[in-house]
A and B are shown apart, each in its own frame.
Chain A
Amino acid sequence: MINQNIFTKNKLVPRSPRDGFGQGLLEVGRVNPDLVVLTADLAESTRAIYFAKEFPQRFFECGVAEQGMVTLASGLASYGKIPVACSFSAFSPGRTWEQIRTTIALNDVPVVIAGLFVGVSVGPDGATHQMLEDISLMRSMPNMIVLSAADYYSGVKMVELAVGLRKPVYLRVPRVELPEIYTQEAEFGLGGSNVVWQDNDAEVVILAHGTMVYDSLLAAKLLNKKSKAVTVIDCYSLKPLDVKTVLAHCESAGCVVVAEEHQMVGGLYSAVSELFSANTPLPVESVAVFDSFGQSGQPRELMDHYGLNAENIYKKAIRVINRRKELLQKSIK
Chain B
Amino acid sequence: MPLTLDTSLLEEKANNIRISVIKMLVAAKSGHPGGSLGLADLFSLLYFNTLNHDPEDPMWSERDRLILSNGHVVPVRYAAMAEAGYITHSKLLTLRKLGSILQGHPERTKLPALETTSGPLGSGLGQASGIALGAKMDNKRFRVYCVTSDGEHQEGNHWESVMFAAKYKLSNLTLFVDRNFIQIGGRTEDVMPLEPLREKYLSFNWNVISSDGHDFLQLSNAIAKARSEYLRPTVIICHTVPGKGVSFMEGRHEWHGKAVGEEDGKRAIKELSKIIKKKKND
Q: Which A positions have Cβ atoms within 8 angstroms of B?
A: 36, 57-58, 60, 62-63, 65, 67-81, 83, 98-99, 102-103, 106-108
| Contact present for B131 and A102 (CB under 8 Å) | no
Contact with A along B93-118 (1 / 0, CB 8 A): 00000000000000111000001111
Q: Indicate whether B197 reaches chain A with its CB closer than 8 angstroms.
A: no
1/0 per residue, CB under 8 A from A, across B186-212: the answer is: 000000000000000000000000000
Contacting residues, chain A, for B107 (C-beta < 8 A): 106-107
Decide if B276 is an interface residue (CB 8 Å cutoff).
Answer: no
A96: nearest residue on chain B (CB-CB)? B157
| Known A-B contacts A60-B133, A75-B128, A75-B129; A107 and B108 likewise in contact (beta carbons under 8 Å) | yes
Across the interface, do B164 and A68 meet the contact criterion of CB distance under 8 Å? yes
Binds A, one of B12-20, B35-43, B119-127, B235-243: B119-127
CB within 8 Å of A: which residues of B? Answer: 67, 107-109, 115-120, 122-123, 125-135, 137, 156-157, 160-161, 163-164, 167-168
B127 cross-chain contacts in A, Cβ below 8 A: 71-72, 74-75, 78, 103
CA distance A331 to B222 in the complex (A): 80
Q: Which of A70, A71, A76, A106 contacts B134 (CB 8 A)?
A: A76
**B-side binding surface: helix, strand, loop or mixed?**
helix
Could you pull out 30 A-B pairs where Cβ atoms are within 8 angstroms?
A57-B137, A58-B137, A62-B160, A62-B164, A63-B160, A65-B160, A68-B157, A68-B161, A68-B164, A71-B123, A71-B126, A73-B130, A74-B123, A74-B126, A74-B130, A75-B130, A75-B131, A76-B131, A77-B130, A79-B131, A79-B133, A83-B130, A99-B120, A102-B119, A103-B127, A106-B107, A107-B109, A107-B116, A108-B108, A108-B109
Q: Which of A36, A63, A103 contacts B116 (CB 8 A)?
A: A103
With contacts A57-B137, A98-B120, A102-B123 taken as known, whether A78 is within 8 angstroms of B131 at the C-beta atoms is yes
Q: Is the CB of A72 within 8 A of B161?
A: yes
Since A65-B163, A106-B109 are in contact, a sample of 19 more A-B pairs with Cβ atoms closer than 8 Å, ordered by chain A residue number, is A36-B137, A57-B137, A62-B160, A68-B157, A68-B160, A68-B164, A69-B160, A71-B127, A74-B130, A75-B67, A75-B132, A75-B133, A77-B130, A81-B137, A83-B130, A102-B119, A102-B123, A103-B127, A107-B117
- Least CB distance from B181 to A in Å reads 26
Q: Looking across the interface, which residue of chain B has its beta carbon closest to that of A70?
A: B126
Which of B115, B126, B129 meets A67, CB within 8 Å?
B126
Q: Given the complex, which residues of B lie within 8 Å of A77, measured CB to CB?
A: 130
CA A81 to CA B137, docked complex, whole Å: 10
Q: Judging by beta carbons under 8 Å apart, are B116 and A72 in contact?
A: no
Give the residues in chain B near A67, CB-CB below 8 Å.
Answer: 122-123, 126, 156-157, 160
Chain A positions within 8 Å of B132 at CB level: 75
Per the bound structure, the CA–CA distance linking A73 and B127 in Å amounts to 7
Q: Hey, which chain A residues are within 8 Å of B161, CB to CB?
A: 68, 71-72
- Give the CA-CA distance A210 to B198 in the complex, in Å: 49
The complex places the Cα of A71 from the Cα of B160 at a distance, in Å, of 10
A64 (CB) vs chain B CBs: closest residue: B160
Residues of A within 8 A of B130 (CB): 71-79, 83
B160 & A103 in contact (Cβ 8 Å cutoff): no
Q: Known: A60-B133, A62-B160, A68-B164. Is A102-B117 also a contact (CB below 8 A)?
A: yes
On chain A, the residues within 8 Å of B135 by CB distance are 79
Q: How far is the CB of A231 from chain B (nearest CB, A)?
A: 40
A311, B67: Cα distance in complex, Å: 55
CA distance A108 to B161 in the complex (A): 21
Q: Which residues of B contact A69 (CB under 8 A)?
A: 160
Interface centre among B107, B126, B132, B164 (most CB of A within 10 A): B126
- Chain A minimum-CB-distance residue to B157: A67
Task: Give the distance to chain B from A76, nearest Cβ to Cβ, in Å.
Answer: 4
Cβ-defined partner of A75 (8 Å) among B134, B156, B157: B134
Q: Is the beta-carbon distance between A65 and B164 smaller than 8 angstroms?
A: yes
Query: Do residues B163 and A72 form an inter-chain contact, with CB atoms below 8 A?
Result: no
Structural contact, A102 and B118, CB atoms closer than 8 A: yes
Would B117 and A106 count as touching, CB distance under 8 A? yes
Partner of B126, one of A68, A80, A106: A68
Q: A70 contacts which chain B residues (CB < 8 A)?
A: 126
Rounded to whole Å, the gap between the CB of B17 and the closest CB of chain A is: 25
Contacts A75-B131, A106-B107 given; does A68 touch B116 at CB 8 Å: no
Q: In the complex, A83 Cα to B133 Cα: how many Å?
A: 12
Q: How far is the CA of A58 from the CA of B130 in the complex (A)?
A: 12
Report the minimum CB–CB distance from A148 to chain B (whole Å): 27
Complex Cα distance, B160 from A107, in Å, reads: 21
Taken together as a complex, chains A and B put the C-alpha atoms of A60 and B107 apart, in Å, by 27
Q: Which 3 A-B pairs have the closest CB atoms?
A: A75-B130, A71-B126, A68-B160
| Nearest CB on A from B116, distance (A) | 6
Q: Could you tell me the distance between the alpha carbons of A65 and B163 in the complex, rounded to whole angstroms?
A: 10
- Chain B hits for A36, CB < 8 A: 137
Q: Which residues of B have CB within 8 Å of A83? A: 130
- Enumerate chain B residues within 8 angstroms of A60, measured Cβ to Cβ: 133, 168
A99 and B129 alpha carbons, distance in the complex (Å): 15
Give Cα distance in the complex from A107 to B123, angstroms. Answer: 12
* The residue from B123, B134, B163 contacting A103, defined by CB atoms under 8 A apart: B123
**How far, in Å, is A206 (CB) from chain B's closest CB?**
39
Contact indicator A74/B116 (Cβ below 8 Å): yes
Instruction: List, in ascending order, chain B residues with CB within 8 A of A98's CB.
Output: 120
A72 and B157 form a contact (CB under 8 A): no
- Interfacial chain A residues near B164, Cβ < 8 Å: 62-63, 65, 68, 72
> Contact at A78–B116, with CB atoms within 8 Å?
yes
- Considering the chains assembled together, what is the distance between the CA atoms of A98 and B156 in angstroms? 13
Alpha-carbon distance between A70 and B134 when the two chains are bound, in angstroms: 14
The complex places the Cα of A62 from the Cα of B167 at a distance, in Å, of: 9
